[in-house]
Amino acid sequence: MSTHGVKDVTFGLIDSTGAIIADASKGISTTGIYLVDGDAEGATQANVTGLEAAGTIGYANDGPKRVSNGSMEPQVSLEFLDIDFDILQKLKGFVNDAKGGWTRQLPKPHVAMLVHSRSYAGVDIYEGFANGQLIEAGMNHSTDNNNETDANTTLTYQALDPLKADVFGGQPYKIWTSADKAFDKVAMMGEVFGGYKASSPLGK
């Protein structure tokens, strides 16, 4: 399966039980999720790595007899043309000090994420992460001259096992295609985002 483009990326904050935080003050919105798609906002890349590693071969009787496979360790390298400042701070685990500033606090929050792309045939592909941490390792600044020097937001998402054992079969990653007859976007959103319920039909 090959894909093209990044259609969109959606985030949600979940609590320690794996449930979506549908509260604009405690979470990131009244619905609990944030689709990065506002004015001049959007993802420019979402590169997923660590889905599998080569197994360790076990030998016996002078030949390869068994392969041991380790756990998945997915990470996603993200870049955004822009993203809402306040929401980004919450997703990273920064807290507003009521004096106009934000400071990093630990432990970091549980973040769920859904990456939406398309196959070359135009079929929707979704990659879900029910739990993880979002990291902004640094910020780049360069002087403007006769051209404006832009620096896009770059983030790393580190996926973790779901907080609920029945989600994703206990694995940190799940992939869907809308071409599957059993595909249900509402059910997918609820599974990725800890019981999220759409305020209006999402369609297929």
Give the span between the Cα atoms of 84 and 27, in whole angstroms.
14
Res 2: pLDDT: 85
CB 78 within 8 A of CB 155: yes
Please name every residue paired with 115 in a beta bridge, in sequence order, or none if there are none: 9, 127
pLDDT in tens, the chain (204 residues): 788 889 999 999 999 999 999 999 999 999 999 999 988 899 999 999 999 989 999 999 999 999 998 899 999 999 999 999 999 999 999 999 999 999 999 999 999 999 999 999 999 999 999 999 999 999 989 999 999 988 899 999 999 999 999 999 999 999 999 999 999 999 999 999 999 987 644 443
CB 86 within 8 A of CB 11: no
Give the span between the Cα atoms of 90 and 111, in whole angstroms.
10
Nearest in space to 109 (alpha carbons), one of 191, 18, 9: 18
Res 186: pLDDT: 95
Res 199: pLDDT: 66
Alpha-carbon torsion angle 176, 180, 185, 191, nearest 10:
-50
Give the span between the Cα atoms of 8 and 41, in whole angstroms.
10
Res 49: pLDDT: 95
Q: Is the peptide bond before 107 cis (omega within 30 degrees of 0)?
A: yes
- At 48 the three-state DSSP class reads strand
Give the span between the Cα atoms of 161 and 72, in whole angstroms.
9
Q: What is the pTM of this model?
A: 0.91
Res 126: pLDDT: 97
Alpha-carbon distances, residue 158 vs 5, 14, 15, 109, 149 (angstroms):
22, 15, 17, 12, 29
Read off the pLDDT of residues 128-144 as tens digits, 9 standing for 90 and up: 999 999 999 999 899 99
Res 38: pLDDT: 86
Q: Residue 38 phi/psi, 5° resolution?
A: -90, -165
Q: What type of residue is 193? A: F
Helix intervals (H) in 9-164 = 85-92
Res 91: pLDDT: 98
Give the span between the Cα atoms of 18 and 162, in whole angstroms.
7
